[in-house]
């Protein structure tokens, strides 16, 4: 069982690598749309990456209104 902090850290690392952003520039409470410079289609890409990595299924309606990495991590953690 992954801890919430480890899940958050892995999300930040994955997002940084996928969107080619320096990992150290991303912080947990940051708006990921702005931090990563992504639109809705790229958000779906990120969702797919995370689902594949954590081997979970996260319905995209659960992401409605989610904008920061910490809340995203909590959504994933709840399905691990």
Partner 1 sequence: MKQFQGQTLSWDLKDGIIELALHREPLNEISSLTLGELEQFVAALDGLGGEAHALILHSTLKSGFCAGADLRELYQWIREYGQVEVATHAREYLERIHSVMNALDSSPLTTIAAVHGVTFGGGFELALTCDLLVADKMARFCFPELRLGLIPGYGGIPRLKRDLGNAVVRDLLLTGRSFNATKAQQIGLVSQVVGEGEALRAARATATQMAKFDRTTAAAAKRFIKPIPHEELRREIDIFCELISRPAVEAGLKKFVESTDAQPYLP
Residues that bind partner 1 (CB under 8 A): 33, 39-41, 43-45, 47-49, 51-52, 57, 59-61, 63-64
Q: Please, which residue, 24 or 29, has the CB nearer to partner 1?
A: 29
Provide the minimum distance between the beta carbon of 62 and partner 1 in the complex, in angstroms, as a whole number.
9
Instruction: Name the DSSP class of 31.
Output: B
Provide the minimum distance between the beta carbon of 71 and partner 1 in the complex, in angstroms, as a whole number.
14
Looking at the chain, list the stretches that DSSP marks H as alpha helix, in order from N- to C-terminal side: 4-18, 32-36, 40-54, 69-77
48 touches 63 (CB < 8 A): no
Both tokens of 73, joined, read 């991590």
Q: Please, which residue, 1 or 34, has the CB nearer to partner 1?
A: 34
């Amino acid at each position: 069982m992954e801890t919430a902090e480890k899940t958050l850290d892995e999300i930040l690392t994955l997002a940084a690598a996928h969107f080619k952003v320096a990992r150290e520039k991303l912080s947990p409470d940051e708006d990921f749309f702005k931090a990563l410079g992504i639109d809705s289609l790229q958000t779906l890409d990120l969702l797919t990456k995370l689902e594949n990595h954590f081997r979970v299924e996260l319905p995209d309606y659960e992401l409605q209104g989610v904008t920061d990495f910490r809340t995203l991590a909590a959504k994933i953690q709840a399905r691990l």
